[in-house]
Chains A and B, each alone.
Chain A
Amino acid sequence: MKRMTKAFFAFLMAFLPFMAMAQIDGEFVKPRTGKFLLQNATVVTITKGTLNNASVLIENGKIVQVGTGISADGAEVFDCTGMFIYPGMIDSGTRLGLVEVSSVAETVDYAEVGNVSPNMQALTAVNPNSEEIPVTRVSGVTTALTVPSGGLFPGTAALINLVGYTPDQMYAGFKAVVMNFPSSARRGRFDRRSDDDIKKDNEKALKEANELWEKATSYQSLKSAGAELEYYPEMDQLAKVISGELPMLIEVNAAGDIKNALKWIEGKDAKFIFSGVAEGWRVADEIAKAGIPVLAGPVQELPTRESDRYDAAYSNPGKMAKAGVKVAIRTDEEENVRNLPFHAAFAAAYGMGKEEAWKAVTINPAEIFGLADSYGSIEAGKIANLIVSTDDPFETKAQIMHVFINGYRIPMSNRHIRLYQEFLDRSPGLKAN
């Protein structure tokens, strides 16, 4: 009897996987890697011109070959006749992965308590399984800088590729310590401070920043001299800016603040990048003269002042680029990062031109982040982040057909698409039977 029971259970156990399969419909499509040949497309390399009827070979996560007459041997072939291949787009400022539903505090991880917390790591809080990631990447945005916000030094931003199951798999090799430069702009309609109060608040904040900078400088010189230092994670992180290990990303927007920020960094031996730069067009020459690159945006945004021309934000990246500033474009978004191509297109239409706008979402951010050898264009040896599109991918009606990130062919699906598939022709419809 005992043996019978055992045999019965053994049978049951063996049968289980089969039963499980029988109860599940459909199959989940995962990202997959391999050797891929994208054939016969118009390849817009960004850095090496546009190639007609060309192909791109991807293997081991890298672009192996770009051009014509590439052997398809052992490769999965994607016929891209009539289509365009572009590098994956890079959004230079988002909160992607750090927030799921912005009004639900429990899902918001970009703003830590405290004014000085440069050691807060955005990368740690990136949720690789956020629904927003598959929604974003099918639009052709393959890489995003995800940025903490809040106080004076709110944390450390990280560049991520939109594929992978751990933050480390997603990490794209760039971090920066964020500084919110004391702002003369208002936080919103509820901000009823007088102009004098704003000025006083800013002076106080800048004094604090100066003191912290001095402290970090001493900390760094002691550290490099081999001194035994007390555990001071905030200072340790700031000191990395002074040592040159990490750049500092300064969020600054109003024209006067940009001028002050330029003055503040004068004589400081560190790498600085400005972000936001909403009124950059007012002081574009000065930014260009200082040689500071900018991560500008959002572009689809209102002017900062009522007296500004209606297109001030649309034309800002173009005006700065014309003045000689190296411009990358950001959305400053979370769930709407997929609109990056449209922000770039508006910049293109309002003075920047398509070519410069494309650079602003590909090679320019790659250069600003010190990653131009691996990102930002279609060249052999670079990481295989690319998109195949029916049309110019900035164009609203363009359909993105394939996305490759880190050499992975991304499933062209997400919750938005699955809901479309389920509800376009609902069953039952109006009547149950």
Chain B
Amino acid sequence: MKKLNYFLAALLGLSITYASAQTKKGSVLIKNATVLTVTKGTLENSDVLVQDGIIKQVGQNISAPNGVETIDATGKYLMPGIIDAHSHVALDVVNEATSPIVAEVRMRDMVNPFEVGLYRALAGGVTISHAMHGSANVVGGQNVTLKHRWGSEDPADIIMQDAPRTIKFALGENPTRVHGRGRGIQPRTRMGVEAILRNGFNEALQYKKAWEDYNAAASQKGNTKTAPEYDERLQTLADILDGKIIIHCHSYRADEIYMLINVARDFGITKLVFQHTNEGFKVAPEIAEYTMGASVFADWWAYKMEVYYSTAFNAAILTKNGAITSINSDSAELIRHLYHEAAKTQRYGGMNDDEALAMITMNPAKQLGISDKVGSIEVGKQADLVIFEGHPLSVYAVPQKTFVDGVKYFDIEKDTDDQRLRVSATEMVEPIFLTEEDHRCMQDVELNFSDISKTLFNTNY
């Protein structure tokens, strides 16, 4: 009896903890909008009802339940919250560059909810970003998927807790420069990159087997076997082999993309997304057949050798070949107009509206493993929504209001100048940045460059 009381008390405590850890959820009725559902076409003059953070009803003549705010969106467009599949927003540190494999480090430990970039992304209609480890390593750290719940001081509040684990891989110039040329260790070439991957996964297989053998023996009576040494790095690689983690791989050239496809196939890995993927168009049929697609820039090229042979038609070629394709930012600036970046696939390759919008909503949701929760306007999904003045694929579109879980975090009418949550007391004057280092793929990597090459290499994405 006493035991039961303790148990109940513990249960009560747990449930209070759980309840208090719940993030803010809102209710709202948005009326008379042109609703761009992405998956179910465009609905003119329609309403969307949100209750407790979930889309409850989509249709016409919906009336607001008691106490639910109504927003008139006549003449405006409503679309799902934009999802950026490649970002470094709100991360204190981006690269742990010390080894070609650093699978054990986790970006969820580095989340900085004070970064004003989160608010600025909301002002561009972005509700979810995939905050990634940098590209200094062949196998980088584990990424974190963020929901832009601006205003919370608790990092846990802006992490999308129900998103699956993902990990950063990187091929080509960056890992070979940092390790091969910078430190004189493998990999210095794209051959070395493959070796690092195959060696890593084979070691992980042995590690896995050692634990399986131990666990099998442990259930036997009179077992004397001791447990293998726990290794977070190898365990993470083993989790990849077991399909528990989605790989997001920084890649540019067709040869390295094709190499990773072959490695993945040899090890039975199917959860694989390519990032940047500038030459993805050259191996589009292979990407379509064997992977979860590619997340690309709309039009970036020529900033380094491995993107010199790029085309702005990349996303269109990938899409028409059947690959899941998303448009990402990898930039504190671009993240603010991904709707415009997606529209570039209409200029370069004639994508239709739904195809273009899917590239910043449903497709990145699929690649992050969250398409059952977000990415379209459908009953039952989380209410991440944006109201636009003008069609979001028009260059003149201006985001008006952005909601995460039905809570409004950006409203152009209530936007005040200074949106910082915290001001540093130690800085006398606020620094002025002209070319903010938007691109942080190679942040925190110390290299012995001369001053001139520092200038030349300050665009290391």
Residues of A within 8 A of B (CB): 100-105, 108, 111, 131-132, 183-186, 188-190, 195, 253-254, 276, 278-279, 300-302, 304-311, 334-336, 338-339, 341-342, 345-346, 348-350, 394-399, 415-417, 419-420, 423-426, 429-430
List B316-341 residues whose CB lies under 8 Å from chain A: 316-317, 320-321, 332-333, 336-337, 340
Which residues on the B side are within 8 Å of A416 (C-beta)? 301, 310-313, 348
CA distance A341 to B289 in the complex (A): 37
Q: How far is the CA of A105 from the CA of B459 in the complex (A)?
A: 13
- Across the interface, which residues of A come within 8 angstroms of B36, CB to CB? none
Pairs across A and B, CB under 8 Å, 28 listed = A102-B302, A102-B303, A103-B303, A103-B457, A104-B304, A111-B455, A131-B308, A253-B434, A276-B434, A302-B433, A307-B417, A307-B420, A309-B417, A310-B120, A310-B124, A335-B301, A341-B395, A348-B396, A350-B398, A394-B395, A396-B343, A396-B344, A396-B395, A397-B343, A397-B393, A415-B311, A420-B316, A423-B317
Q: Is the CB of B347 within 8 A of A305?
A: no
Report if A398-B337 is in contact (Cβ < 8 Å); known contacts: A101-B305, A302-B438.
no
* Distance from B419 Cβ to chain A, minimum over Cβ atoms (Å): 7
By a CB distance below 8 angstroms, the chain B residues around A334 are: 302
Find chain B residues with CB under 8 A from A132 CB.
Answer: 302
Contacting chain A: which of B14-22, B77-85, B151-159, B424-432? B424-432
> B432 near A186 (CB under 8 angstroms)?
yes
Q: Which residues of chain A come closer than 8 Å to B267, judged between CB atoms?
A: none
Kindly state the separation between the CA atoms of A45 and B393 in the bound complex, as whole angstroms: 27
CA distance A278 to B300 in the complex (A): 23
B50 sits at the interface (CB 8 A): no
B436 within 8 A of A: yes
* B contact residues vs A (CB 8 Å cutoff): 116, 119-120, 123-124, 281-282, 284-286, 289, 299-305, 308-313, 316-317, 320-321, 332-333, 336-337, 340, 343-344, 346-349, 390, 393-398, 415-420, 428-438, 443, 452-460
Q: Which residues of B contact A425 (CB under 8 A)?
A: 320
Please determine whether A345 and B317 come into contact, CB atoms closer than 8 angstroms: no
Main SS class of interface, A: loop
A348 to chain B, nearest CB (A): 7
Task: Summarize B's interface: helix, strand, loop or mixed.
Answer: loop
Contact, CB under 8 Å: B435 / A188: yes
Tell me which of B340, B432, B453 contacts A304 (CB under 8 A): B432
> Is B396 touching A345 in the complex (CB atoms < 8 A)?
yes
Q: Which residue of A lies closest to B320 (CB)?
A: A424
How far in angstroms is the closest Cβ of chain B from A429?
5
List A contacts of B452 (CB < 8 A). 105, 111
Distance of A310 Cα from B459 Cα, bound (Å): 23
Question: Given A103-B459, A310-B336, A397-B393, A185 and B302 touching (CB < 8 A)?
Answer: no
Task: Assess the B437–A189 pair: CB atoms within 8 A.
Answer: yes
Closest 6 CB pairs of A and B: A396-B343, A420-B313, A397-B346, A335-B302, A103-B304, A430-B285
| Cβ A103 vs Cβ B432 within 8 A | no
**A311 vs B412: C-alpha distance when bound (angstroms):** 10
Chain A residue with the shortest CB-CB distance to B124: A310
Do B433 and A185 have beta carbons less than 8 Å apart?
yes
Q: Are B332 and A186 in contact (CB under 8 A)?
A: no
Known: A105-B453, A188-B458. 9 other contacts (CB 8 A): A188-B433, A300-B333, A304-B433, A310-B119, A310-B336, A338-B299, A349-B390, A419-B311, A430-B286
Q: Is the pair B395, A307 in contact by a Cβ cutoff of 8 Å?
A: no
Q: Is the CB of A419 within 8 A of B309?
A: yes
Which of A254, A396, A430 sits near B393, CB closer than 8 Å?
A396
**B135 → chain A, closest Cβ, in Å?**
14
A195 B429 Cβ-Cβ under 8 A: yes
Q: Is the CB of B317 within 8 A of A420?
A: yes
Question: How far, in angstroms, from A395 to B393 measured CA to CA in the complex?
Answer: 9
**Residue in chain B with minimal CB distance to A341:** B395
Closest chain B residue, CB of each to CB of A348: B396
Q: How far is the CA of A195 from the CA of B457 in the complex (A)?
A: 25
Q: Are A101 and B302 in contact, with the CB atoms below 8 A?
A: yes
Contacts of B281 in A (CB 8 A): 419-420, 423
Chain A residues near B435 (CB-CB < 8 A): 188
Residue of A nearest to B395 (CB): A345
Q: Give which listed residue, B116, B286, B349, B456, contacts A102 with CB less than 8 A.
A: B456
B430/A305 in contact, CB under 8 A: yes
Contact A103 B305 (CB under 8 A): yes
Is B333 in contact with A301, judged by CB distance below 8 angstroms? yes
Q: Which residues of A contact B456 (CB under 8 A)?
A: 102-103, 105, 108
Whether the pair A420, B454 counts as a contact (CB closer than 8 A) is no
In the bound assembly, the distance between CA atoms of A298 and B448 in angstroms comes to 31
Complex Cα gap A322–B397 (Å): 21
**A254 & B348 in contact (Cβ 8 Å cutoff):** no
A300 cross-chain contacts in B, Cβ below 8 A: 333, 337
A420-B347 Cα distance, complex, nearest whole Å: 13
Nearest Cβ distance between residue A261 and chain B, in whole angstroms? 15
Most buried by B among A341, A342, A348: A342
Known: A416-B312, A420-B349. A305 touches B432 (CB 8 A): yes
Given known pairs A105-B456, A305-B430, A350-B398, the reply for A423 and B284 (CB within 8 Å) is: yes
Q: Is B282 touching A423 in the complex (CB atoms < 8 A)?
A: yes
Choose among A103, A254, A276, A308 the residue with the greatest number of B CB atoms under 10 Å from its CB. Answer: A103
CB pair A310 B434 closer than 8 Å = no
Query: Which residue, A309, A310, A430, has most C-beta atoms of chain B within 10 A?
Result: A310
